Amino acid sequence: MSTEGKCAVCLVEAAQQCAGCKAVFYCGREHQKQHWGRHRFECRPIKVAEDPVQGRYLVATKNISQGDLIFTDSPLLIGPKMVSSPICLGCHQPASVDCPCPGCGWPLCGPECANAPQHQAECKLMKDKGFRADIKDGSKPLSEYACIVPLRYSLLPEEKIKKVKSLQSHLETRRVTPLYTVLRNNVVGFLAMRLQVEVTEDDILGVCGVMDTNAYEIRRNGGVKLRGLYPLASLMNHDCVPNTRHVFDRDDKMLVFATVDISKGSPVTSTYTHALWSTHQRRAHLRATKCFECRCVRCSDPAELGTYLGAILCSKCAGKGKVLSTAPLDDAAPWQCNNCQAQMTAKQIVWGNQALQKELEQVDKNGPQQLEAFLERYKAILHPTNGHALQAKLALTQIYGNVPGFLLKDLNDDQVERKLSLTHDLLDAVSVLEPGSSRTRAQLQLELQAAMVLQAKLDMESERITRERAEEILGDAVELLKEASEVLKTEPDMEGKLQEKLMILMQQLELDETANERNADSAVDEELALEDMIENLQTEPLIVKPRKPMRRNM
């Protein structure tokens, strides 16, 4: 991109660029301010498009590079999920039932949050109407929180209410569901009758529908889960292979980053489902929760972009072929082996998948034994990148090296090799299904580098590799850690974990006490780079600068 151009106002040669889009030049600050009234509508790298099929959606107005911050968004409406553990309505941190708000009785984290700005209006309304929450048991999720977001909606200024109403709710589809029958009986009754809020049934059920269709889940430390309605982010189309990821800062602002290069005119997409679910699982989930039928490239491909994630091994030809849907967008279509052409009904596949998913969810994940047994038990059915197998492998990568009894220092050679193998299997699939600088891929890179460092140390101590080869592996691990850090340093909850990983790797870089036996220049370069990374993480825990292109394709 050129670093010089003509001033957008007076057309003289200029070198000062707009910091937002870097596409417009100015001769000075005054002309930039003068031009902003017009340029602000063109500056963002996205715009809202509309068509009869997709409705309103976001597209790129220019080429966007992987790692770029595309936009930020603040919530129109935010609050607890419909069923929630006790949450402080003042600050959204974990609350104690032993610290009720003196005004309305809802649990708080401390007495100071009784006067928190976001709690003032709702607290006053409940107090004025003589309502006081009576929550005694904080050990289980509570359905009482279902009324909070609709109540906050009713207290919004009129212009914000109009923005909420402009978003899709699918209310006519949702109205007849069991959940909305419960909401009609409980939430509508509570707000309209008990609190005498001047809203209609359609207003209350409508905002519930808008939240169910468009809200994003916000996870906080302490197990807190919130839902936030972000007006711009809600316009991102869904895709089962998205081109963005999003994070939330400590003020609940959403930051949306490009995970891959996005060309001008392309949709800017997010995902509302799980990458390691099969096409049938994803489409059923989207149908039930978002009220639409996904027809993206991945859903339309029986092989799921070459991962065969929903396929099983064929029992008729002893696993030589994979059984795939003949028409993945048709839930009733038969499934057929791509080797021997043997067929199964869709119902057989669905029943089998449901049984496997239920068994996997019930497996003890405090240790690897039951997960390893699950993979062994079904190895004749589940190929290495089947979705159930990948979910089990993901759980295992989080156990090996991370839970008591299986920390890195506790692992033997076979367990380290197993962690490496599992992580490579997952990265092969995730690099297709969540490519680029996705959170899942970065977390797997973090696990991979830890296993690489440990294996290099064990192999060198056992004289299976030379010191020079060990140092090559450590250099690769450093590069993986740098790449993962570029992604994960934007995640507030990863700050401490990244610093810990960096410190561990710095310690491992010295393979024994005789550091001067190493190549001194290489050692100094590696350690200085890691020290810089640690310093950056300590001083800039949330970095939103565009990242450089990825150096490796791991």
The tens digit of pLDDT for each residue in 242-259 reads 999 999 998 899 999 999
**404 and 525 part of one domain:** yes
The residue among 431, 267, 430, 276 whose CA lies nearest residue 353 is 276
For residues 86 and 195, state if they share a domain. yes
**Residue 542 pLDDT > 50, yes or no?**
no
CB 199 within 8 A of CB 241: no
* 257 in a structural domain: no
| Mean per-residue pLDDT, 504-513 | 56
pLDDT in tens, 153-194: 999 999 999 999 999 999 999 999 999 999 999 999 999 999
Do residues 96 and 111 touch, judged by C-beta distance below 8 A? no
* pLDDT higher than 80, residue 348: yes
Judge if 124 and 170 occupy the same domain.
yes
Domain identity same for 507 and 414: yes
DSSP codes joined into one string, 79-102: EE-SSBS-B-TTT-SB-EEEEE-T
Q: Which residues contact 371 (CB under 8 A, 6 or more apart)?
A: 363, 365, 392, 395, 396, 399
Q: Which two tokens stand for residue 226?
A: 């919130």
Q: How far apart are CA 134 and CA 36, in angstroms?
A: 53
Same domain flag for 529 and 473: yes
In Å, what is the CA distance from 313 to each residue of 160, 216, 340, 353? Answer: 52, 36, 11, 13
In a domain, 24, yes or no: yes
**pLDDT above 70: residue 516:** no
Segment of 18-32, 63-77, 467-481, 518-532 carrying the highest mean pLDDT: 63-77
In a domain, 472, yes or no: yes
Residue 111 lies in a domain: yes
CA distance between the termini of the chain: 29
Position 3 scores a pLDDT of 62
- Name the β-bridge partners of 227: 79, 217
What percent of the chain clears pLDDT 70, i.e. is strictly above it? 87
- Cβ-proximal residues to 38 (8 Å cutoff; 6+ apart), any chain: none
Q: What is the pLDDT of residue 539?
A: 40
Between 287-291, 325-329, 331-335, 474-478, the lowest mean confidence (pLDDT) is in: 474-478
- H/E stretch holding 514 reads none
pTM: 0.85
d(CA 109, CA 86): 9
CA distances from 278 to 34, 312, 441 (A): 53, 11, 18
Pair 85, 217 in one domain: yes
Q: Which of 207, 229, 251 marks a domain boundary?
A: 229
**Domain end (from 204, 229, 254):** 229
Integer Cα distance of 276 and 429 in angstroms: 9
pLDDT band at 43; cut points 50, 70, 90: confident
Please tell me the predicted confidence (pLDDT) of residue 377.
98
C-alpha–C-alpha distance, residues 156 and 451, integer Å: 51
Which residue, among 244, 217, 219, has the nearest Cα to 229 in the 3D structure?
Answer: 217
- Asked whether residue 67 is domain-assigned, the answer is no
Under 8 Å between Cβ of 88 and 107: yes
**100-126 pLDDT, tens digit each:** 999 999 999 999 999 999 999 999 999
Query: What is the dihedral sign for C-alpha 453, 456, 459, 463?
Result: negative
- pLDDT bracket for residue 53 (50, 70, 90): confident
- Could you read off the pLDDT of 409-467 as tens digits, one per residue? 899 999 999 999 999 999 999 999 999 999 999 999 999 999 999 999 899 988 998 98
Task: Provide the pLDDT confidence category of residue 491 given band limits of 50, 70 and 90.
Answer: confident
Rounded to the nearest 10 degrees, the angle between the axes of helix 346-362 and helix 387-399 is: 10
- 219 and 107 co-located in one domain: yes
Q: Does 141 lie in the same domain as 38?
A: no
> Does residue 388 contact residue 357 with C-beta atoms inside 8 Å?
yes
3-state secondary structure of 461: helix
Could you tell me which residues come within 8 angstroms of residue 69 by beta carbon, excluding any fewer than 6 positions away?
255, 256, 257, 544, 545, 546
Residue 20 is predicted with a pLDDT of: 64
pLDDT value for 505: 63
Tell me, yes or no, whether 36 lies in a domain: yes
Tell me how far apart the alpha carbons of residues 146 and 33 are, in angstroms, rounded to a whole number.
46
Query: What is the domain extent for residue 119?
Result: 77-229
Q: What is the pLDDT of residue 100?
A: 96
* Residue 400 predicted with pLDDT over 90: yes
Query: What is the Cα–Cα distance from 219 to 493, expressed in whole angstroms?
Result: 9
> Is 334 within 8 Å of 343 (Cβ atoms)?
yes
Q: Classify residue 136: in a domain, yes or no.
A: yes
State yes or no: pLDDT of 551 exceeds 90.
no
* 30 and 116 fall within a common domain: no
- Say if residue 15 is in the same domain as residue 125: no
- Mean pLDDT to the nearest integer, 470-499: 84
Residues 6+ apart with CB under 8 A from 90: 101, 108, 109, 112, 113, 114, 115, 116, 118, 119
Q: State mean pLDDT over 485-490.
A: 88
Average pLDDT along the chain: 89
Last-in-domain residue among 202, 229, 256: 229
**33 and 161 together in one domain:** no
User: Number of folded domains in the chain?
Assistant: 3
3-state secondary structure of 255: strand
Residues 85 and 207 in one domain: yes
Is 152 domain-assigned? yes
Kindly indicate the confidence band of residue 21, based on its pLDDT and cuts at 50, 70 and 90. low
